[in-house]
Amino acid sequence: MFASSSERTARAAALATQIRPTAPAASRLLPVAEPLTALLPDGALRRGGTVVVAGSPGRGATSLGLALLTAASAAGHWCAAVGLDDPGVVAMAELGVDLRRVVFVPRPRGAWAVAHTAARRLLARARDRAVVLLVLVEHRDDWPVPADTVLEVTASTWRADGRLLERRAEVRAVGRGITGRPRRVSLWLPGIRGAVAQAG
């Protein structure tokens, strides 16, 4: 027996409700500090996404990575940081990171290239749990699996007046959703008050 037109319409509506995403797109985005919005495709972090932050030691890559987590962790969202062997609790607190909301995964012994399986497992777990996965590396190719966004600190200089005051860092962003030329932003990492700030 064939269903009537009204029954088919009701079934179609019920099916659409079942397959409709359970959360609107906006709820899949996590906030970042205002100076960092220009680096990311949506001006925010995406749940289940991976952001690789690369830079030579001392250039500010660690500060940039932690600054990315401040707004999201302060708002009560969970994040995971990979490759940070010594988190530096005082520095993170000064940047505004809520340590109760960040899981730290140390870099595996040896290069990430020989830990491809571990990297893929972390990526799958982040997607499954809708957690932002932040990866800190010295070189952008050190992380063996594709990332949604790659932020690279290409240069940095300190401003001093008898003591180190603030570090200006040049950041280059590439990845999904960034079309055309890479995005480039100048930041204070950290700024004179400790937090990240946009450099003029």
Domain 30-198 CATH (choose: 3.40.50.300, 2.60.40.2310, 3.40.50.1000, 3.30.470.20) = 3.40.50.300
Spatial distance between the Cα atoms of 34 and 171, rounded to a whole number of angstroms: 15
CA distances to 63, 65, 86, 88, 145 from 136, in Å:
10, 7, 12, 14, 13
Give the pTM.
Answer: 0.79
**Domain map (residue ranges) of the chain:** 30-198
Query: Cα dihedral sign for 183, 88, 57, 196?
Result: positive
List, for residues 121-180, the tens digit of each pLDDT value.
888 988 898 888 999 999 988 888 889 999 999 999 998 888 888 899 999 999 988 888
pLDDT-above-90 percentage for the chain: 31
Among 80-89, 103-112, 155-164, name the most confident range.
155-164
